[in-house]
Structure 1
Amino acid sequence: MVDRAVARRPRCADRPGLLGASKGAAHLLARGVSVVGIIANGRSWRNTREAVLNHAPPGVLVEAPETLDGYPAALTRFAQAGVSVVAVDGGDGTLRDVLSALPQAYGDKPPSIAIIPSGKTNVAALDVGGVARSAEGLERLAQAATSGAWRAEEIRRPIMVTTDGWTRIGFVFGLGAYERTTRLVNERVHSRGFAQGIGVALGVLMGGAAAFGKDRQIWRSGVPLSIAVDGAPARSGHSFVLLATSLHRLILRLYPFWGEGEGAIRLTEIAAPPRRLARGFLALGLGRKPSFADKEGYASLRADQVSLTLSDPFILDGDAFSPGPDGRVELKAGSAIRFVSL
């Protein structure tokens, strides 16, 4: 997997954590006033066209890690400076990398998160809101961080995904047909400049066509897995698709979950080979439970912990990962994160 990093270093990058700071910014830091920190990904979809770093108002700190390993150190500098609002400039993958590094930097007292959506897909921002990338938007962000006058505040518990000795913290996990569709989107859609809703719509169409096309046997055979929910006995079989999230809304109003309960993780699985797939897709696309779900292997539930054993790759927030040698992948509801937006 390619590290999420910034392709070019911003001006004053030799001064970690402070980008073109003014006397006003230094005064804010000296007084210990809560400040905003922007953590940017220069390789995101739009950073090559918009110099958001140059729009940062006085008192706002900016970090631009060049490698994935740079995120913990950057966020630690934020924590030491008293940053209470971290603005994530990038897409869902950048948000995942920031959330994954937060515990090391902030411990059990995470900052509030504001999303500056600039990725190929910004599913989390669609759900919890975001902040404009303009100079005016960042100025309003700095003011709101001091006054607390946010347009909206949302609390979400991200999903902690652990395998092969590492943990990533994100919001959208999937495998089977979801992994295959995401691969098609990355290879044939995003590479041609399509992103956001258009990119997702094209991906859904391509995935649907593949499930009914000449490669349908490969797609419909699914992937082998073992799954145990909240400590219950494990069940083994083949899954056509499995999708899990702790967000309350997904892109294009697609939200194929109907399970009840109080668990933070919403999960839907279709067993392989899928039955009555066309009607099932139609119902799920409309946000409804298929009338035949219980009889035909369509299951949806809520949980706080899901234990998987896999042999195939999975997707977390748009990027593919492989399970460790033992195949074990643990999903666990993480600590609550406060998202703020304007």
Structure 2
Amino acid sequence: MATSIYEFAQIPRADPVGARARVRPIRDAGQAPTVGVIYNPRSHRNLGADFDCGLCPHVHIAQPRERGQLPVALADFAAKGIDLLVINGGDGTVRDVLTCGQAIFGDDWPAIAVLPKGKTNALTVDLGVPDDWTLQDAIDALDHGSRVHRRPMTVARIEEPGSRVAGFILGAGAFTKATQAGQSAHKLGAFDSMVVAVTGLWALLQSLFATRSNPWRQGARMRIGLGAADAPMAHSGHGDPAMRQLLFASTLERLPAGINPFGALRSGLKLAAIDQISRRTTALIPLVLTGRLRNGLRERGIHQLAATQFSLAIEDQFILDGEAFPAGHYRIEQGPELAFVAP
């Protein structure tokens, strides 16, 4: 369920008839829940293995091998009135399921559980889901576990109105370079928090010792507009005001490796943007990410803020949940509040 560059024109469209057919009856006490499982056999930890389809008649499993098959599977789950949607895969699988499910579930999603089976599983870190969580664990947690509420970001390309992608982590500039470096780290056996640490260290070294013309320090040409008024984000005056060395946005509250790029901000849509900062300020980044340096950041070229929405006009690729998206003009908002099942 992945391609090299995500094209908005290729987002699968859901059949609106399937959406209208959705019925979710109220369960009686002690009645087994109806469960729909999106199983990605290509996810890293699934390794193409067959999923156990004989758990019980109330568990319905779909194994879409491309994005175009997802709306059909989700519409079928909606028609069955599922109580729990289980996503068996990594962050990219979550992004594709949430994207394709927008037209089907709208603002009335079933409870969602995520089994961390991908190369990166940032969402399950935030949810507090252990690496060895099973389908049965997720089903048991529906009635006996906890609920964590999160709103994914929705990213709409202004040049193609009506197409929206949903996800939890967006980055640009040096973040794009770090994601490419992360693919190499995957090949060396680094995953999840380890790959965050490895690529973060590499990005720091590049920024410390590279020249201003190096892509790690140069970043990307972009314009960020905040809120409904689309007010331009402030710039510190360090480097080219048309460039940002890095942009990072998320609605998650806990990130892998314990990093905290947003300072005291926790809930909602949060942004961290870095201008073309000096090497001296670059050396302070670890203190910023661990929350030990919070004062005078904006003057140094490090911006941490929350926004109801923002626009991004960018001349380079950006990353959403591990996948590259093309240059263009985008609007980023918060999607519906989703209830995730956790231990």
| TM superposition score normalised by structure 2 | 0.82
Q: Judge conservation of contact 1:226–1:308 (CA < 8 Å) in 2.
A: yes
Q: In 2, distance between residues paired with 1:203 and 1:141?
A: 31
Q: Judge conservation of contact 1:240–1:274 (CA < 8 Å) in 2.
A: no
Identity of paired residues, percent? 30
Cα deviations across residues 152-177 of structure 1 (Å, max 9, x unaligned)? 21001110011242311010001011
Cα deviations across residues 106-136 of structure 1 (Å, max 9, x unaligned)? 23211111010011111100111337767xx
* Cα shift at 1:40: 1.0
- When structure 1 is superposed on structure 2, of 115-124 and 49-58 the one drifting more is 49-58
Return closer, same or farther for 1:303/1:244 CA change in 2, 3 Å cut-off: same
Quote the residue 1:234 is aligned against.
Answer: 232
Quote the residue 1:320 is aligned against.
Answer: 324
- 1:65 aligned counterpart, secondary structure: coil
The alignment covers a number of residue pairs equal to: 306
Return closer, same or farther for 1:242/1:289 CA change in 2, 3 Å cut-off: farther
Q: Judge conservation of contact 1:221–1:273 (CA < 8 Å) in 2.
A: no
Return closer, same or farther for 1:264/1:214 CA change in 2, 3 Å cut-off: closer
Cα deviations across residues 211-242 of structure 1 (Å, max 9, x unaligned)? 23446632222211111111242256210111
Quote the residue 2:169 is aligned against.
Answer: 172
| TM superposition score normalised by structure 1 | 0.82
Structure 2 regions of 5+ residues with no counterpart? 5-26, 234-240
Cα deviations across residues 185-236 of structure 1 (Å, max 9, x unaligned)? 11x2112222122222111112112223446632222211111111242256
Residue from 149, 157, 168 that aligns with 1:155: 149
Residue 199 in 1 paired to residue 200 in 2?
no
Q: In 1, distance between residues paired with 2:40 and 2:247?
A: 29
Query: What amino acid is aligned across from residue 222 of structure 1 in structure 2?
Result: G
Q: In 2, distance between residues paired with 1:336 and 1:178?
A: 27
Q: In 1, distance between residues paired with 2:186 and 2:322?
A: 11
* Cα shift at 1:301: 0.5
Q: In 2, distance between residues paired with 1:201 and 1:52?
A: 32
Q: Judge conservation of contact 2:207–2:279 (CA < 8 Å) in 1.
A: no
Q: Judge conservation of contact 1:240–1:271 (CA < 8 Å) in 2.
A: yes
- 2:73 aligned counterpart, secondary structure: helix
Cα deviations across residues 65-88 of structure 1 (Å, max 9, x unaligned)? 121111111111000011121110
* Cα shift at 1:50: 4.9
Quote the residue 1:243 is aligned against.
Answer: 248
Q: Judge conservation of contact 1:3–1:67 (CA < 8 Å) in 2.
A: no
- 1:320 aligned counterpart, secondary structure: strand
Q: In 2, distance between residues paired with 1:155 and 1:44?
A: 25
How do residues 1-342 of structure 1 correspond to structure 2 at under 5 angstroms? 2-3=2-3, 34-48=33-47, 50-54=49-53, 56-130=55-129, 137-145=134-142, 148-150=143-145, 152-163=146-157, 164-165=159-160, 166-186=163-183, 188-214=184-210, 217-218=213-214, 219-230=216-227, 231-235=229-233, 237-258=242-263, 264-274=268-278, 276-323=280-327, 327-342=328-343
* Cα shift at 1:259: 6.0
Structure 1 regions of 5+ residues with no counterpart? 5-27
Q: In 2, distance between residues paired with 1:273 and 1:279?
A: 10
